[in-house]
Structure 1
Amino acid sequence: MTALHGGLAVNPAAPADLLLRLLEPEYESAWYALASRRASFPEEVTAAIVMHPHPRVRGALARNPFVDPEVRGLLVDDPDWLVRARLAGRPDRTRPVRPLPDWVIDRMLTTYDNDGLQELFFSRQIPFRIQRSYCRHPMASIRQMATNVWTFLSVSERAALLKDPHPQVRASVEHMLETDDAKAMERRLGPVPVPRNHGTGLILVNYRLSRTVVDWLLSDPHPDNPWVLAHNYSTPPDVVARLVAHPDPKVRLELARRGDLAPAHVQDLARDTDPRVRTAISLRPELSEYERAAIDYTVDTDEEFGPCDHHAQAAPDPAASAAYARSRHPLLRRRAARDPALPAALVTLLARDDDLGVRMLLAHNHPAPPPELLLRSYLEHRGAYRDLLTEHPRFPVAGLGARFMDADAPDERRLAVLDPGLAPGTADRLTRDPDSAVRVGATRHPRLPGARLLALLAGEELGEHAAANPALPVNVMRGLLT
């Protein structure tokens, strides 16, 4: 009976009074499913979960990846720190994350402790536009965070932070600007040889280095030093030139990604023996299409092509995306395919692209991909994010039953049970399918004949899923609680 209660908890047709009963102590086994797996709740059920005496129920709602973030946000002031931490953390790392509402983020930023804020920052639930507005926040502690998006701020916004009335804000900005001061970084590092730790590593890899420190890195035998110099933006040109012939391809690959690489070195690395280096060079923005085509680059098709958290990062340049979309280089077209703001004409163009990665990334990242692209992408690529395609509102579910009910591959037969017009007899037959996922989908299908549904409800394997079927009569649902 416990499993049946879990099925009822996620049944989209379960009435509010039944869901409220499931929140009582007698049905504790259904609490987690009810709070964490439903995509929506009647208003009174939401209120009951938010005010539930047991933090486990509230914590499950805080991590629900299916429900509207506005509902999750109702827990922002929960009295239990673990519930608040669950809200701040990413709900599900196997799915794209949706941003929290602005009012929830502001409440967190102004009331949560450092541990809670670290969870929030790494969760990618903060839209980039909110991060971009930190510089104008009335709280000094939030304005300090604007240094994290310094390169995206306007000249006037930077000037205002430099003259901020709060000394901690000014100090944070000055501390950040010091990272481009080689002498200041040398003082932070201390005398050479520099001790190896997280703090010194951060400086050596990312901040401006003095010639003294650069020469020490060249003479010191630590195996990571060549890569550090290849990566650091301030490495002098003569040192970069010495590294072009370095035997480690990881060092040459890092050089290939430098924005300031001299044309002669670009030409040298375009002929590199390592395909990863040549491929990185082929993506450089200063190259023409003709120059790219002359490079022997490689294109992998075994990657995990999935969705991006677009809201959490700066929007791509529309002109760059348009140019990438028309490029002959498939890896540049893949960049364009990730842009959710790509115009319809370019979406149509890339939907017919001959590169699997372009098509997959477009299907996963654009809000309006062609329906036939979604289906084609599901059929062509068995990656970790494959099933997310079937959840897209434009996924073409009509007619899938007749088309795929007899498919040889189980993952194709699973498409049949997505068809809202699936024939009742077909649904019945698919509840006996050799594949468990097909059986589950058919058991949950609202067009499953009533007699078969009730028979499955009494079975051990599929009873829980029969209880989740929205066609289950309400009187039967209520009977499962008596």
Structure 2
Amino acid sequence: MNRVPHGLAANPSLPASLVDRLIALADEDLASELAERGDLRHDQVVALAARDEHTARSLAFAGLLTAADVDPVARPLTALALLDTGAGRPEWARLLARHPVVRHREELASCAGLPDDVIEALAVDPALDVVHELAAFTPEPAMAARLARHPHAQVRRGVAVNEATPPAVLAALLTGEGLPAATACLVCDSKPIPYEHDPNCPDPDCTLFGGAACDGSHQSTVHDTLHGVLGNPATPPDVAARFVDHPSLLLRWSLAERPGLPPEVYARLARDPAPGVRAAVAGNPAVGDETLRTIAADPDPAVRRALAHHPALPLDVLTTLAETTRLGSATLPRIAAASTDELRELAAGRPSVRALVAARHDLPPDLRDALAADPDAKVLRAVAPHPGLTEELLRAMVATHGVGVHARVAANPGAPGALLEELARQEPPVRRALREIAGHPNATAGALARCLGDPRAAEIAAAHPALSPSLLASLLTGPDEGLAEAAARNPALPREVMEGLVP
């Protein structure tokens, strides 16, 4: 398959006349790539939409098509996309509510702003999937409350996740109080009960989920409904809190992620036997200091790592975690929110704490430069990509710590071309450094030539405008289709070369 046209489709320098030529020959894949361009004229959008309905649909979601551009009979999926974005016409909804394809009616049911008569029709649709979709997405509290009393448990499962469902109705779905019992579920619709579905079911036509079960109580669907309600922010916290000791791990986990629960509930969940539940509590912004300090002593490192990402974590707890837990290289939320005085205080701490500060790349210049001269390699790796570092400091890092900091120095946006070329010539090559150099705006032709030798850096380098014209030409005609496509994306490609590549 010739991938060069696909590269050209993404080339920002491609002239409009060549865009027209590509549209005229586009299949579904090429049309999809052309649809990502940000310079399409409206007539090009319309022509592209005519090539493929899936592309037309993405253009509609992007707001590039209008109702006047779409025939809902010929392009129902595109019409549905416009309805979903609020740009469709009410008469389309009425037409699609009677469409013979169930999937189209199902998608219609998830659209906002539908006429009342369409909503009523969808609520009594003979296809259960359509009613379930309406239950999950209707913005009308009264309709959600009505569907919560539907005899089929699958419909109630949709109501459970709908944030428009009234809190009292969500509470009733949790407790069962005030609602008639469901009379059916997907399991007992299709299997004699009691039945529990084999997760390794060999039937290719089976649509039941692994573990789906019914003994007459519709237990797996009821469980999924409870899970949906506990994850719904409209659910009353006091009712949700009753599930703190529920035997289901998934339900306790969902509860642990909720805001607004009483402190004692979070404290109990922080002692849960399941690490996943404790980690969910650790990352919950609603959890207070006392419980956070308790979690800091958790034996599971994954729980402590989750705690380190808590946005309001006390700094003394964070410094303790830095000594006991590998926290990664990303800027932690509490570090991102720290004041300048707090940053300076932390930067006087141990290397693991200094590295946390160095990961923040908007530091005061004097603090940034002090960390750039730190004797610890971990601190230097964190601060090396910081904008504003001088070439002298970057070279000093390389001289002091060698290949251990090459990739991070290469990631610095101000790294000069000469330094990048020196890093690219390292033997044996530092692969991660080559990948950073390949996409660096200051990379030289010499550095990029070296990057072509790394399988993961090569395609990035092939699209770099500083790549030498001779290498660029060789990639376009070479045997590697991935490199040829990347080279065709290169914005430095001459127009006459582009014209020769378009059939």
TM-score, normalised with respect to structure 1 = 0.52
1:425 aligns with 2:446: yes
Give the residue type in structure 1 aligned to 2:43. Answer: A
State the partner residue of 2:43: 47
State the partner residue of 2:71: 79
State the partner residue of 1:106: 86
1:60 aligns with 2:55: yes
1:69 equivalent among 62, 68, 75: 62
Residue 229 (structure 1) shift: 7.0
Q: Highest CA radius of gyration, 1 or 2?
A: 2
Residue 293 (structure 1) shift: 0.2
State the partner residue of 1:438: 457
* Local SS of the residue matching 2:38: coil
Structure with greater contact order relative to length (CA < 8 Å, sep ≥ 6)? 1
C-alpha change, 1:6 and 1:262, in structure 2 (3 Å) is closer
1:324 equivalent among 312, 318, 322: 312
Residue 16 (structure 1) shift: 1.8
C-alpha change, 1:273 and 1:358, in structure 2 (3 Å) is farther
Give the residue type in structure 1 aligned to 2:443. Answer: L
Instruction: Quote the Cα distance in structure 1 between the aligned partners of 2:141 and 2:28.
Output: 52
What whole-Å deviation, never above 9, does each CA across 1:58-97 have from its counterpart, x for those lacking one? Answer: 64364379xx934x345774236686636866xxxxxxxx
Q: How does 1:200-239 map to 2 (within 5 A)?
A: 200-201=156-157, 206-208=170-172, 209=175, 211=177, 222=219
Instruction: Quote the Cα distance in structure 1 between the aligned partners of 2:85 and 2:18.
Output: 33
Contact 1:253 1:277 in 2 (8 A): yes
Instruction: Quote the Cα distance in structure 2 between the aligned partners of 1:117 and 1:357.
Output: 51
Instruction: Quote the Cα distance in structure 1 between the aligned partners of 2:181 and 2:84.
Output: 49
What whole-Å deviation, never above 9, does each CA across 1:302-321 have from its counterpart, x for those lacking one? Answer: 999xxxxxxxxxxxxxxxx9
Instruction: Quote the Cα distance in structure 1 between the aligned partners of 2:470 and 2:484.
Output: 13
Q: How does 1:331-346 map to 2 (within 5 A)?
A: none
Contact 2:253 2:276 in 1 (8 A): yes
State the partner residue of 2:290: 290
Instruction: Quote the Cα distance in structure 2 between the aligned partners of 1:356 and 1:81.
Output: 60
C-alpha change, 1:42 and 1:301, in structure 2 (3 Å) is farther
Residue 198 (structure 1) shift: 0.7
1:271 aligns with 2:292: no
What whole-Å deviation, never above 9, does each CA across 1:392-435 have from its counterpart, x for those lacking one? Answer: xxx8544386445357454442221212232122223333x141
State the partner residue of 1:474: 495
Instruction: Quote the Cα distance in structure 2 between the aligned partners of 1:285 and 1:52.
Output: 46
Residue 449 (structure 1) shift: 1.8
Residue 463 (structure 1) shift: 3.3
What whole-Å deviation, never above 9, does each CA across 1:192-243 have from its counterpart, x for those lacking one? Answer: xxxx731355678944145587999xx9795887897796667998x977x7
Instruction: Quote the Cα distance in structure 2 between the aligned partners of 1:189 and 1:120.
Output: 20
Aligned sequence identity (%)? 19
Instruction: Quote the Cα distance in structure 1 between the aligned partners of 2:73 and 2:475.
Output: 42
1:450 equivalent among 462, 465, 469: 469
Residue 7 (structure 1) shift: 3.2
Contact 1:88 1:117 in 2 (8 A): no
Contact 1:8 1:468 in 2 (8 A): yes
State the partner residue of 1:399: 415
Instruction: Quote the Cα distance in structure 2 between the aligned partners of 1:263 and 1:221.
Output: 33
C-alpha change, 1:61 and 1:470, in structure 2 (3 Å) is farther
1:8 aligns with 2:8: yes
Contact 2:6 2:33 in 1 (8 A): yes
Residue 32 (structure 1) shift: 2.7
Contact 2:11 2:489 in 1 (8 A): yes
Q: How does 1:372-391 map to 2 (within 5 A)?
A: none
- Structure 1: gaps spanning 5 or more residues: 90-99, 145-170, 180-184, 191-195, 305-320, 364-369, 377-394
CA RMSD of aligned residues (A): 6.1
Give the residue type in structure 2 aligned to 1:79. Answer: D
Residue 272 (structure 1) shift: 3.6
Residue 280 (structure 1) shift: 4.6
Residue 47 (structure 1) shift: 1.6
Give the residue type in structure 1 aligned to 2:70. Answer: D
- Structure 2: gaps spanning 5 or more residues: 98-102, 121-138, 162-169, 183-215, 322-326, 362-367, 369-381, 387-410
Contact 1:3 1:464 in 2 (8 A): yes
What whole-Å deviation, never above 9, does each CA across 1:157-211 have from its counterpart, x for those lacking one? Answer: xxxxxxxxxxxxxx954444679xxxxx7xx377xxxxx7313556789441455
Give the residue type in structure 1 aligned to 2:154. Answer: H
What whole-Å deviation, never above 9, does each CA across 1:256-289 have from its counterpart, x for those lacking one? Answer: 5677866666555443433344445556777541
What whole-Å deviation, never above 9, does each CA across 1:8-45 have from its counterpart, x for those lacking one? Answer: 333322222222233334x7698436523x533353xx
Instruction: Quote the Cα distance in structure 2 between the aligned partners of 1:357 and 1:214.
Output: 55
State the partner residue of 1:193: none
C-alpha change, 1:85 and 1:303, in structure 2 (3 Å) is farther
State the partner residue of 2:212: none
* Local SS of the residue matching 2:312: helix
Give the residue type in structure 1 aligned to 2:458. Answer: R
TM-score, normalised with respect to structure 2 = 0.50
Contact 1:457 1:463 in 2 (8 A): yes
Instruction: Quote the Cα distance in structure 1 between the aligned partners of 2:237 and 2:221.
Output: 15
Instruction: Quote the Cα distance in structure 2 between the aligned partners of 1:198 and 1:328.
Output: 48
